[in-house]
Amino acid sequence: MDYTKLGKTDLTVSKVCLGTMTFGDQNTQAEANAQLDYALAQGVNFIDTAEMYPVPPQAETFTRTETMIGHWLKNQARDQVVLGSKVAGRNRYMPWIRNGDDRLTRANIRCAIEGSLRRLQTDYLDIYQIHWPERNVPLFGQYQFDPALEFDETGAEKAWVSVQTQLETLAELVKEGKVRAIGVSNETPYGVMSFCRVAEAFNLPRIATVQNCYHLMNRGMEFGLTEILYREEVSLLAYSPLAFGHLSAKYLDNPQAKGRVTQFLGYAQRYQKPNVMPAVAAYAALARENGLTPTQMALSYVYHRWFVSSTIIGATSMVQLKENMDAYEVVLSDALLAQIEQIHLTMMNPAP
């Protein structure tokens, strides 16, 4: 396993991060423990979770994932694990979180962190991220900004909690020792730059990470965000490198294969767009022509991109987890990378 520093912090993390959003729904406590133990044994020191997990979010399962990790973490050497979690906010209908008050106010962020620390059975988080933007922004399969959403049903302009207020609250948590580093998730170039500039202007903590979706069928961040990551020294944590399992080709080979897509019908609108399955077929064929599984090629591609600091992988079985981990040792040839680029140019970003 290789390791890297996050942003301008002193946090050293493995290039592969274990995602946990299946814990508490698709995975039991025993299965979660087995995954966590195996990942650590393979050199993974980085664990990602969130207060709203497992996914898809539901009132009856909300917070289960953190609770399960906490049961495991209490028996570990805490300083050997880099643990990140996220605070849920506006723009998604989850009335079971903080009684429906989903604004990223100081009170709500502080309420969220206290809950996460309690469930995770730890005194601090290494990384604390805003799960998605407070403001109006296209999310999770949406791809067009809609100015009309800046106003409520009465025509009044919505009062978004400012980036400065969010950073001031996160600064308190850092000062109190509850959080070591901060980050954002599902962010746009505008959002990342706003957090960087506000931090600089008001002497507030800089974001160290941005956790965004990135895979062969979703490379939109290359149109501007990668330059920002480079120039502002912010680390990318790439999630969903297999596109909800699509890039493993299991749904191509068997449309009824067991997995999130068939278990939670209609949940991921990113993958219901016209060119998704043709792109999956093209990438799967290319991998197999080169003696690789579709999973190996898709994961290796993300693992070794110059701007990806750590890739968040998830699995519902140990067989999947081992294949995902082993794919880190696969290095794609220049010729294969050129062929991938040709498919990309033909079917660019079918799952934004």
The domain 3-243+303-330: what is its CATH number?
A: 3.20.20.100
pLDDT recorded at residue 260:
86
Give whole-number Cα distances, 10 to 59, 136, 143, in Å. Answer: 37, 33, 35
The one-digit pLDDT tens for each residue of the chain (352 residues) are 999 999 999 999 999 999 999 999 999 999 999 999 999 999 999 999 999 999 999 999 999 999 999 999 999 999 999 999 999 999 888 999 999 999 999 999 999 999 999 999 999 999 999 999 999 999 999 999 999 999 999 999 999 999 999 999 999 999 999 999 999 999 999 999 999 999 999 999 999 999 999 999 999 999 999 999 999 999 999 999 999 999 999 999 999 998 888 888 777 788 999 999 999 999 999 999 999 999 999 999 999 999 999 999 999 999 999 999 999 999 999 999 999 999 999 999 999 9
Is this model's pTM higher than 0.95 or not? yes
Measured from the Cβ of residue 160, the count of other Cβ atoms closer than 10 Å reads 16
DSSP of 239-256, one letter per residue?
E-TTTTTGGGTHHHH-TT
pLDDT recorded at residue 91:
86
**Which residues, in sequence order, are CB contacts of 204 under 8 Å at separation 6+?**
164, 167, 168, 170, 171, 198
Yes or no: say if 66 and 32 are a contact pair by the CB < 8 Å rule.
no
Q: Verify whether residue 128 is a known catalytic residue.
A: no
Yes or no: say if 313 and 324 are a contact pair by the CB < 8 Å rule.
yes
pLDDT recorded at residue 341:
98
Yes or no: say if 43 and 79 are a contact pair by the CB < 8 Å rule.
no
Q: Which amino acid is at 335?
A: A
Q: Residue 5: which of 233, 192, 167, 182 has the closest Cα?
A: 233
Which of 53, 214, 251, 301 does the annotation list as catalytic?
Answer: 53
**Which residues, in sequence order, are CB contacts of 202 under 8 Å at separation 6+?**
164, 167, 168
Rounded Cα–Cα distance for residues 261 and 224 (Å): 30
Task: Determine the 3-state secondary structure of 54 from DSSP.
Answer: coil
